[in-house]
Amino acid sequence: MHRTKAILRAALVLYLGAATLTAGAQPGHPARHPAGASSAGERDWWKNAVIYEIYPRSFQDSNGDGIGDLNGITARLDYLKKLGIDAIWLTPCYPSPQVDFGYDISDYKNIDPKYGTLDDFDRLVAEAGKRHIRILMDLVMNHTSDQHPWFLQSRSSRVNPYSDWYMWRDGKGETATDQGAPPNNWESLFGHSAWQWDAATRQYYYHRFYIQQPDLNWNNPKVHDAFKEIISFWLKRGVAGFRFDAVTALYEDPSLADEEILKDKDGQPLVNAYGDPVLNDSKTDNLPSVHVVMQELRAHTDTFSLAAFPGTRVLIGETYLPNVAELAKMYGPAGKPEFHLPMDTQVAFINKLDVAAFRAKLNDVETKIGDNTPLLLFDNHDNPRVQARYGDGVHDLDIQRALAAVLFLSRGAAQFYYGDELGMLTTPPTRKEDVKDPIGITGWPNEKGRDGERTPMQWDASANAGFSRGRPWLPVPPSAAAINVAAESPDPDSLLAWYENVIRLKKTIPAFARGRNTMLDTKNTKVLSWMRKAPGGPPVLVAVNFTAEPQTVSLSVPGFNGKLKTLLKTPGAADPDSLKAIQLGPFGVFVGKILQR
């Protein structure tokens, strides 16, 4: 089973508002940045944004406790600036019992002491702002920690003012002495029943994720108000937006009817990695009311684009959806916008180098989401890394170059995950007793959990990879000896250098920054080729070989006679001088400008 579909959902990106803030206007807010006031470029920064996901626990430890922290991130901002990113999506760093490593929040308006303080956070925002990097927070609205004061109140009695902030239901067939069965067959995405019996209230509560993550009741208007206040709190601190976590899980069907059990082609019930039946999720996922909440939260967020904070605050969605039609809805109907950037999991998790599938899915976001902007990605902290999902074990470096070309040279915002730029490997635990992510314990050995893609950032070849002077919370894999920043930065043929180059093209060539995508040579099943063109400028072209054999493509672009100027190519490849004969090595990439004459 791919974890991909089963696990995840939402996001939101913030605009620092750095641009026009008077320096020192509010403590912790970034100073005016050199690009100046709210130009169209500033307003639209997110439409061609390069967004870098940091899992704070694993990026850089500054105090030797083996856990990454905010001051560690601040210390590495120059590296990120050189890489060319526009924004950091910071996964949750709020106070948390850390059952789900921060996705179980016990206080939405503070920083977990393991990661630092609010002052450290303000300093991170300010220092990032100086480098023109925006900070986006991760906001978990589907559930809180079971240690959050709201839930402690809620479970304290059935008549508490917070009792209807969560999803409490009676057991089936419950009596004065018997708790009865769970209200229905709904399952947690993290294994087993989604209902947890609570002895004090003598009711069950619903949890889409861990038992320690009770779902909030979004039918209660007070929950909406609480989150609007939380959003305001962080936007006022200068964040540029949010990633909304697990947002498609906000509502459940009020009928509480059982979900259908899915069957294989022989009519046998399908069973997941936890040994539970696989359910259709139509009663627990992507209910229409999600859109109503999104319109409300977007309208609230948009009020912060004015006055003291010009520039767009951006909402990113963790939107695992079945098709482009559902993705299109996440942008909102005319006049009622929702997400700026719901993540496109259609492209991300094709999970095989299938040219036709890539062409079709990339075309979908070019033609089926109106004037909206796609958010492309391959990786995040919940899935095996790109190398594990797309590598062939022989040409992995070239495959990662090829996918980086797809990611950064297609139209839209592009998101990647710390360490992808180095080619960091997924390194799952080999023994159950070493597993940190609870789903890896519940699901062992079918599901080893997400530790493998959360190993410490690899800065250098020293014992702890430059991540920590203490004992890292997850082991540094042996591959860090060769795959690290210190080894790759001076090497012009490294994956890191390739990332810097494709990001530079995305940011500096107008056709890549804003040109539409047009697929070329659309019957070819081995090479994916596309053209980008912005008004007034020359078209640019990308050709990516999706096979392990050399390929030659012959392309034509009406109105152009075929001369090319190379912008970037796989190390060692020849420069084609015409569109008619572009030679590509195994998984080779060619990027060029098409000349008029």
> Contact residues for ligand GLC (CB under 6 A)?
7-9, 100, 103, 140, 209, 245-246, 318, 381-382
User: Least distance to ligand GLC from the beta carbon of 198, Å?
Assistant: 20
Q: Which residue has the tokens 């809180």?
A: 144
Cis peptide before 445 (omega within 30 of 0): yes
Known active-site residue 229: no
Nearest residue to ligand GLC, by Cβ distance, number only: 8
The one of Ca ion, ligand GLC, none whose footprint includes residue 65, by CB under 5 to 8 A per kind, is: Ca ion
- The answer to whether 69 and 56 are in contact (CB under 8 A) is yes
Nearest in space to 222 (alpha carbons), one of 150, 137, 146: 150
Cβ closest to ligand GLC, residue 138 vs residue 259: 138
Q: 495-508 and 396-409 are packed helices; what angle lies between their axes, rounded to 10 degrees?
A: 10
Nearest to ligand GLC of 61, 382 (CB atom): 382
Work out how close the CB of 281 gets to ligand GLC at its nearest, in angstroms, rounded to a whole number: 14
389 binds, among Ca ion, ligand GLC, none (CB under 5 to 8 A by kind): none
426 burial class (0-12, 13-18, 19+ CB within 10 angstroms)? buried
Interface residues with Ca ion (CB under 5 A) are: 61, 63, 65, 67, 69
Q: Which strands, in side-by-side order, build the sheet including 527-533?
A: 516-520, 527-533, 540-545, 589-594, 564-569
Of residues 245, 285, 344, 447, which has the active-site annotation?
A: 245
Looking at the DSSP assignment, which residues form a beta bridge with residue 181? 172
| In the complex, minimum distance from the CB of residue 464 to Ca ion, in angstroms, rounded to a whole number | 12
Q: How far is the CB of 58 from Ca ion (least distance, A)?
A: 11
* Least spacing, CB of residue 78 vs ligand GLC, in Å: 28
CA–CA separation, 574 and 16 (whole Å)? 43
Do 435 and 448 form a contact (C-beta atoms < 8 A)?
yes
Question: Of Ca ion, ligand GLC, none, which one does residue 69 interact with (CB within 5 to 8 Å by kind)?
Answer: Ca ion
**Alpha-carbon distance 97 to 495, whole Å?**
37
What is the closest distance, in whole angstroms, from the C-beta atom of residue 274 to ligand GLC in the complex? 15
Residue 76 CB, nearest approach to Ca ion (Å): 13
Picked from ligand GLC, Ca ion, none, the partner binding residue 590 (CB below 5 to 8 A depending on kind) is: none
C-beta of 6 vs 67, nearer to Ca ion:
67
User: Nearer Cβ to ligand GLC, position 8 or 315?
Assistant: 8
Instruction: Give the one entry of ligand GLC, Ca ion, none that residue 276 binds, where binding means its C-beta sits below a cut-off of 5 to 8 angstroms depending on kind.
Output: none
From the candidates 318, 382, 398, 437, give the one annotated as an active-site residue: 318
Beta strands in 484-581 (DSSP E): 516-520, 527-533, 540-545, 551-553, 564-569
- The question of whether 326 is a catalytic residue gets the answer no
What residue number has its CB nearest to Ca ion? 69
Q: Which partner in Ca ion, ligand GLC, none is near 63 (CB below 5 to 8 A by kind)?
A: Ca ion
Burial (Cβ within 10 Å: 0-12, 13-18, ≥19) of residue 157: exposed
Looking at the Cβ atoms of 150 and 590, the one nearer to ligand GLC is: 150
Residue in this structure with the two tokens 């023994």, named with its chain if needed: 431
Partner from ligand GLC, Ca ion, none binding residue 100, C-beta < 5-8 Å depending on class: ligand GLC
Q: Is 163 helix (H, G, I), strand (E, B) or coil?
A: helix
C-alpha dihedral (177, 183, 185, 186), degrees to nearest 10: -130
Considering only CA atoms, give the Rg of the chain: 24
Could you write out the DSSP letters of every residue in 447-471? ---SGGG-PPP--SSSTTTTT-SS-
Tell the smallest beta-carbon distance from residue 370 to ligand GLC (Å): 27
Give the whole-angstrom CA distance, residue 492 versus residue 98: 40
CB atoms within 10 A of CB 264: 10
Q: Which is nearer to ligand GLC, 382 or 500 (CB)?
A: 382
Nearer to Ca ion, 65 or 127 (CB): 65
The entry of ligand GLC, Ca ion, none near residue 67 (CB within 5 to 8 angstroms by kind) is Ca ion
Contact between residue 133 and residue 88 where contact means Cβ atoms under 8 Å apart: yes
Return the active site residues: 245, 318
